[in-house]
Structure 1
């Protein structure tokens, strides 16, 4: 079983980076095969260009030609995404949403001819056939209650429901770590231990 981790944080000393290390440690202990897409180190371009949008339109009727219009980096990510059994996103929540690189990954990889296609009735059909589950791990400084009730639970609505559920893929889990900046060292270590254990026992 292979796990693909899509990681987005520019600072190597971040708590997100500590989470990544815990996830990798757990996967290693569990004997799982891993692959990491580090969007910041890859200098991933999140912007949908004119060519990308033209490919998006063309993919509805001619997937093969549409794929030829995509960048080599996106095609590499496509291959790795199609070859994974489990997908894990790790990123901070900034101003209630994911950073630009993560949003760009969604825009460019949850794409017709890659993650889904249209059937004869024009309905979207999920086509990452190997994928068994998606886990999203986020950090934020907003209290959980406020994020859900005042700020609209944006990650759940946009990424889980608005992306994966919309395509008919429902095996999604969100691990939200809140008020990270003010958390104690003990609290952070407990979080990391629980995350490592979770990924040992996938």
Structure 2
């Protein structure tokens, strides 16, 4: 029996290499018998700014309510996004800020130093593009855009990051190299 997978494209353009990776992943996952729902952040209609922090409730737009429903439905998440300026795109950060709210993704309790993780039981894959060589991003920059998502966001909410694939440098990559990366994205989707 297949998994329920929520695939989130964190690049704002559907014409990007991230979109191609997401497309290959979705196709391979469906072929393997998994059920896939897709969210392309660039197509959603929402304000990515958490205007009052957690001091006031900011009404969720219909697209964000649907995203929350999809997160609850999913057993597994796959995030596909680029590394820009060493971190994640502002649109993806805004999506996290607006969707992964207290009471939905985590809950603070009096007397406890750490919150309850409300999205436990889910796993995640990350497919991440960059124009920096991945080895340089790992050893010199220390992977801030990966740690932010894996530890500070997903694990904080109870989602277990399982595998991360990094693709780069994308700028100047040959068609052969890009096809190799697409095959890797398809391969990880089958498991």
- Bucket of the pairwise TM-score, normalised by the shorter protein: 0.7 to 0.9
Unaligned 5+ segments in structure 2 are: none
Within a 5 Å distance, the mapping from 1:41-120 to structure 2 comes to 41-50=43-52, 53-55=55-57, 69-120=59-110
Does residue 165 of structure 1 match 2:167?
no
Q: Which runs of 4+ in 1 moved over 4 A?
A: none
TM-score for both structures, normalised by structure 1: 0.83
Deviation of 1:120 (Å): 4.8
> Larger C-alpha radius of gyration, 1 or 2?
1
Task: Specify the alignment match of 1:39 in structure 2.
Answer: 41
Q: What per-residue deviation string (whole Å, max 9, x for no partner) do you get for residues 144-175 of structure 1? A: 22212332311222111222234454443221
The two structures, once aligned, show a CA RMSD in angstroms of: 2.1
Instruction: Say which SS state the counterpart of residue 86 (structure 2) adopts.
Output: coil
Relative to structure 1, the CA distance from residue 28 to residue 193 in structure 2 (aligned partners, 3 Å threshold; closer, same or farther) is same
**What is the CA deviation profile of residues 35-63 of structure 1, one whole-angstrom value per residue up to 9, with x for unaligned ones?**
1111101133211123864128xxxxxxx
Task: Write out per-residue CA displacement over residues 88-147 of structure 1, whole angstroms, 9 at most, x where no aligned residue.
Answer: 111111111111111011112222111111245333111124x43111111101012221
- Residues 23-46 of structure 1, C-alpha deviations (whole Å, 9 max, x = no match): 111111111111111110113321
**Given that residues 20 and 182 in structure 2 are in contact (C-alpha distance below 8 angstroms), is that contact kept between their aligned partners in structure 1?**
yes
Distance 1:186 1:101 in 2: 30
Kept in 1, the 8 Å contact 2:12–2:91? The answer is no
Q: Secondary structure at the match of 2:176?
A: helix
Q: Provide the C-alpha distance between the structure 1 equivalents of 2:66 and 2:138, rounded to a whole number of angstroms.
A: 36
Does the CA-based 8 Å contact 1:45-1:101 persist in structure 2? no
Q: Distance in 2 between matches of 1:2 and 1:76?
A: 15
Supply the distance in 2 between the matched residues of 1:102 and 1:143 (Cα, whole angstroms). 22
Structure 1 unmatched ranges of 5 or more:
57-68
Would you say how many aligned residue pairs link Structure 1 and Structure 2? 188
Q: Does 1:199 align with 2:183?
A: no
